[in-house]
Amino acid sequence: MTTLREITHDDVLALAIGAGVLGTGGGGNTYLGRLRLERELNIQGHPCPVISADDVPDDALVCAVGTMGAPTVGVEKIMAGHEVALAVRALEKHLRQDMFAIVIGEIGGSNAIGPIVSALQLGLPVVDGDPMGRAFPELQMDTFMIYGVSPIPMALADSHENVVIFEHIQSALQAEAYARSLTIEMGGSAALVMPVMTGRDMKAAIIRDTLSLAIDIGKTVLHARETHIDPAQAIAEHTGGAVLFRGKIVDVERRTVKGFARGNMTLVGFGDGDDVMEIDFQNENLIARHNGEVVCTVPDLITIVDSEDGEPIGTESLRYGLRVAVLAMPAPDELKTPQALAVVGPSAFGYDDVIFKPLIATHS
């Protein structure tokens, strides 16, 4: 097993910035995650090893981990810190097999950082990859579920050390409903371990190298800041994306629909007040329209960054007057198959009249 790279103190800030960029406005605030990871690196006294997906043997067991619940709750009801590790150990005992490595459940936002803390606690390496390549709001919106990995057994744990194992659940949608209900009873946020899978199944569905991508995006931003080059343009070049728009936020509208923060924002160009971009979001940014014409849609990534320092801006932090750049980045190929688009394309978010036209990468 080759260790690809290690996560050290030097990577933490870069990972937080890069996970924010890949979070496309969602995935949760990274600030608490950064503090937790820095503390855990101090406690353990060594970095977290990162391995390639292809270094996991076919018959070894791995599990994806993350948190379930509203990010707004997650910031106020801080986790005890070892919930994920407890749930992983309970599943190991249930299945009578040890885990070989930890998989990040979602590379966007705070969910990219928590799994590394858990891997350090468990003494396990973390796999370089995830099943979203970005952030999405629901359990079934990941490549493990899309490409047929079983959601069970899965486990939820809360800050009182309560651990619940879902031993048999008929569908990913039912898993989502039962886990959501129990999460609410657990106080609004809970640690989630799902799915447990063999190395073979993981390798068939994971989006590779997204942890490295997040760190590299963050380092690109930090380097741009130091050398006074344009951070948004640097991110676009690194990711094969493009800067769609530069301007000022002049309007933000939010409403809560079925438990999601749906809304939209309007931006006007720095040079030309008639040049307008509108972006719809549902936790994550979904659809960008430039002077009325759709120019980028989910699953491609739409991220708002501060125009000066390239800091990614979550949908919860949008406000009048922010001067920003709008980035568009091509989604991983795994999210653009017909099978995937049925689950994560515009129609899955209620945009039945919007056709997904994939961005063409400016380089690869």
**HSE-up of residue 190 (Cα within 13 Å, Cβ side):** 27
Selected range binding its own copies among 135-143, 181-189, 207-215, 342-350, rule: CB under 8 A: 181-189
With a CB cutoff of 8 Å and minimum separation 6, the contacts of 238 are: 216, 217, 220
Stretch that binds its own copies, among 105-113, 119-127, 163-171, 331-339 (CB under 8 A): 163-171
Least Å from the CB of residue 86 to its own copies: 8
CA–CA separation, 310 and 221 (whole Å): 6
**Residue of 32, 182, 252, 313 interacting with its own copies (CB under 8 A):** 182
> Quick one: which of 54, 58, 98, 161 contacts its own copies (CB under 8 A)?
161
Using CA atoms, how far residue 142 sits from 148, 172, 207, 296, 336, in Å, is 10, 11, 10, 20, 12
Task: Answer for the pair 232, 305: CB distance below 8 angstroms, yes or no.
Answer: yes
Q: Rounded to the nearest whole angstrom, what is the least distance from the CB of residue 89 to its own copies in the complex?
A: 10
Binding part of the chain for its own copies, among 47-55, 184-192, 208-216, 283-291 by CB under 8 A, reads: 184-192
Q: Give the whole-angstrom CA distance, residue 314 versus residue 63.
A: 27
10 Å Cβ neighbour count for 333?
A: 11
CB closer to its own copies out of 178 and 260: 178
Q: What is the DSSP letter of 312?
A: B
Q: Which stretch binds its own copies (CB under 8 A): 42-50, 170-178, 200-208, 222-230?
A: 170-178
Query: Is position 185 an interface residue for its own copies (rule: CB under 8 A)?
Result: yes
168 binds its own copies (CB under 8 A): yes
* Host H or E run for residue 43: helix 31-44
User: Per rule CB under 8 A, is residue 196 in the interface with its own copies?
Assistant: no
Q: Is 164 in the site for its own copies (CB under 8 A)?
A: yes
Nearer to its own copies, 93 or 223 (CB): 93
Query: What distance in Å separates the CA atoms of residue 46 and residue 26, rounded to the nearest whole number?
Result: 30
Query: Residues touching its own copies: how many (CB under 8 A)?
Result: 24
Shortest distance in whole angstroms from residue 210 CB to its own copies: 31
Whole-angstrom Cα distance, residue 98 to residue 101? Answer: 9
Q: In which region does residue 290 sit, left (phi positive, over 0), alpha (psi from -120 to 50) or beta (all else)?
A: beta
46 vs 93 by CB, closer to its own copies: 93
Residue 228, interface with its own copies (CB under 8 A)? no
Does 86 participate in binding its own copies (rule CB under 8 A)? yes
By beta-carbon proximity to its own copies, the closer residue of 154 and 215 is: 154
8 binds its own copies (CB under 8 A): no
Nearer to its own copies, 150 or 347 (CB): 150
Ordered strands of the 293-297 beta sheet: 293-297, 284-290, 276-282, 260-269, 242-257, 323-329, 301-306
Binds its own copies by CB under 8 A, chosen from 181, 337, 339, 362: 181
Are 219 and 14 spatial neighbours (Cβ–Cβ below 8 Å)?
yes
80 binding its own copies? (CB under 8 A)? no
Binding site for its own copies (CB under 8 A): 86, 90, 94, 96, 155, 160-170, 174, 177-178, 181-182, 184-186
